[in-house]
Amino acid sequence: MDDGMKRELAQFLCAAKIQEPRTKSQHNREQWRQSLLRRLDPLWDIREKIDKYVAENGARCLICGSSSIEGNAVEIDCGQALQNISCLDCHSSWTDVYVLSNADEIDVPSDVASG
Ligand SMILES: [Zn+2]
């Protein structure tokens, strides 16, 4: 976790009103901070993995990087499409989320167009 992320974390804790323990000991406060950062690290990691996966158009497993991934049927609902994906190598699974972005090849019957 770099300094920018630590600053973001500090702002998040402040916004979420998560308070550091009331203790006069600088050492205890530092320990508390370190344990919190350790607990949050996996969350930062998975966010980075998801961003990379999306940037590569979901071509490879977001956990192990294998290209042996397969998707189940796509379910479409309310401008959103969901597809369960699983990795044949590490057996991780997740759901791809697609969002409606455009309408194309529009064909309007002439009686509707002139009326
Ligand atoms: Zn995998």
pLDDT value at residue 83 = 97
Q: How far is the CA of 8 from the centre of ligand 1 (A)?
A: 30
Q: How far is the CA of 69 from the centre of ligand 1 (A)?
A: 7
Residues with CB under 5 A from ligand 1 (ion): 61, 63-64, 66, 87, 89-90, 92
Q: How far is the CA of 11 from the centre of ligand 1 (A)?
A: 34
What is the residue whose two structure tokens read 């057996």?
A: 91
Rounded to whole angstroms, the Cα distance separating 31 from 12 reads 19
Encoding tokens for residue 115?
A: 């009326």
Q: How far is the CA of 73 from the centre of ligand 1 (A)?
A: 19
84 closest CA partner among 72, 75, 92 = 72
Rounded to whole angstroms, the Cα distance separating 99 from 8 reads 28
Q: How far is the CA of 39 from the centre of ligand 1 (A)?
A: 23
CB 96 within 8 A of CB 107: no
At 42, the pLDDT band (50, 70, 90 cuts) reads confident
Q: How far is the CA of 37 from the centre of ligand 1 (A)?
A: 26
pTM of the full structure: 0.61
What's the mean pLDDT in 27-36? 81
Q: How far is the CA of 18 from the centre of ligand 1 (A)?
A: 35
At 29, the pLDDT band (50, 70, 90 cuts) reads confident
